[in-house]
Structure 1
């Protein structure tokens, strides 16, 4: 039984229940995971509306060899299960994010005299983890601030009361330079140390007010006791906190525990910005570029990414702000809104600025990358063809005279390794009688560059002739007769073995078949051939109409041209119904034309 029939048979047995479905390929590997309110209805849509799908989706469908499903209770459960399976299997046709476990955390260790360290591994040992941080730089800024405010230990000793009493440890360099107060030798009491840890926990949670109040009280008390140096040290610590808070984006003291997600996209990618707000300040930011796999909509992409980012950054926010009106998330007790005014709208606008900047930056980088690729290709072509100049401007000529009729020619132009279609030219062969490719090549090359010389237009750096040594020699003769042979490089490319011929050289050059420069020459040659063939066919059809239709008494060139421009050939005109012809040329001329066609068929 063919694969498609097997799939359709499986679909008949799928449940009309919420859940997830998995598509497998011929290697029995998962290539796509999807969610659905109704599994059978959703899976059927892939196969019942195949003509409405884009190319990427049709490609996915062509690789499906098996389907599996899992039923769940609610749409919300399906949403979360889909997300987990995508992370687990990373299917080819699902959009993906890297796992959040690779992001760093700040950890307050679960031990006597806790340490504050950075880590990428969360261990279930009672330690408290803050983050994860999308930026290692931002995390290090927070760590440096904490270390400048509080004298914490960095050693990994087991500072149990028994070990300290027995004098098992000695203070290290950190104590002597003032970064640690020596709890290992019982020089710092545990209560004071834990008071500092409590303040650090508040800072890491986004609440700086407790630490600020603490240092301010200490500063005032020291000043009152005329301990001005100590008061100054507390003042410096308070300034560090103030400076850190000033650099944080404070949006509103009334807003807390909110997630903001915005999205914009082009044909290939989606760009997403995430802001996390706690205690009136933005404490987490992340911007992402997502490559589309199946031309997904912004709604579909953002819904998937929100679930992943909230999981990765351990968000428990009950409110999400976004710029997508249609977004609906099956998340329990979570509201999704598009604010129009107030502080929440300002937050949304800030996220939009970030995501639009990301898109502009990435698209600009892609353009620069394209430009650098084109320069590299031209440099390679210059080297392979031993040219004296970078071939920024290339022109290619091709003749078309299928079966010796209606000889025409074409010239295509490439600038910076890209087609410059405004510079393409068609040529009617005027001075040559019959099918003579060599003489035709001489004519069109002469006409092209005589015109450029008359207009004072710059010549190309490279001329490519589609053909062998004969066509090349005639192009060279034309350039010599114009007196510009030494001013421009000219080569020919023969189709059969992709041989490159130089003037005066009997042996061809063979460029590596995988070379970018050969691919560029082939593309230019093929484009010239396509352009010429199209023109030849149009002209041939026009000639056919002229001989068949314009000679009919009662019809003329205007009627012939009208029919040709719309239907392209006599064959297609003959296939039209009487009603269709009357709509184009009227009842009287339709009768004349049909009488002619009937006489022709009976002749």
Structure 2
């Protein structure tokens, strides 16, 4: 037993002596620094879990436990008091392995530059530069969205050109041609007309769309009465633009007046929490929190809610999540006391609320995709597949297996790997079935997985996490519940906990469902997951078939060589291994053939004569 194993055993022994009472536990490293703080309804049960089998932990927890030197605890009268104390201690000590959020909610302003041809932009602080500032606003996103809307509605420039210096110096940009800019650079709009647009945009930003529309309607009617029809038409176009923008915003609206939507997207080592904040039924703010690995999503959601609302003053009456969390009722009680009114925490399953959660989750997946170099489709497909299979986290590393043979001959298997939703061809492996005679796909699949896990345990002895030393997050077998049932005992005997499913095809060889021991999971309605699983099934079938054809070709070539006197099955295999191809054997001279492993001069002469009959006679 290593020193580390002895230390973990001592920690577990101490944890087993803890009381079955609520409280807070505090983990320290060798330097005495606090690295993790948690709460528990029963301290003994929760803390002892950390020092049990590593197989039950995700990578984040394993890393934390490996750094624990000792722990201490504080008893509380209730689980709720433990939650309050935990929040206070985390805020005070900011432990490394707790979810920590950086509060970047500063103040933001709308800036209108001074002088002729003023420009509207966003600013983080008020400078003594003569410009006019509107604000402050708390939400950076809302400020930017409002400015973008005003620039598009009133067709004001958003480029870096300076006026009047750049008037007439270059052709207008794309925004002019798609009618989103009046293009002062063309010199066809007067300074007075431009300033009028800016003033109307400022009124829009100050008063909102309803007030701005009333003012513009009044100006349009006045222009029409004064027979200024061109001016009235321009104002009419601005009113149409405001209405079109308002209609677009209604798409991101909800019947619930005030609520927050929170969703989590996880990658291999990058995660993202996305928050959509609704006020008066409209999306008024959004926040994105990119972070490293978050581990168990149930735990992560609970930690995030604690950290997020500890640094936010406004707590809505409803918080909707994209999945379950630990201690939902406890979190609801904590939020209710902070807000001094009832706060509901829920996971919508259908209807408008579920659609909003899905939109929030897709935005979180987009952030993970941008951070990791994946596409949004790949990130969303993995997330959807994980939820469909009831997995706690998306399957980042997937292994898939298929058996290929011809009436039981040349029995082989192929293994393909998909990482982050993409083929990882350097990890593909081929298996030649050794223990199964004839056509028995169940027994063949069982042998392949036994050999794969044997390689895993060998790699663990060498402290290797590459190749077979890395366990997959998910195993997909080409076949139905029969293949799954045949392989399940292999997993159970190994003591490994890896999700295992089959991939079922229809009579047209198209992916139809995912098989379990007891039945099937339909995936046709889950488009992203369906496309990913179909790609995996097609790829593993292609790879296994390719290996089978290669093996048959070698057998045919080997059979041809064994017809030559002095070249048996063993010598034929040795020749193919040495020369790689039949062409190389044919092109070799007599000396090269004689020098090959296991060859004799008479056998080499017969082999050379077989491929070069005329040269031998001459």
TM-score by length of 2: 0.45
TM-score by length of 1: 0.46
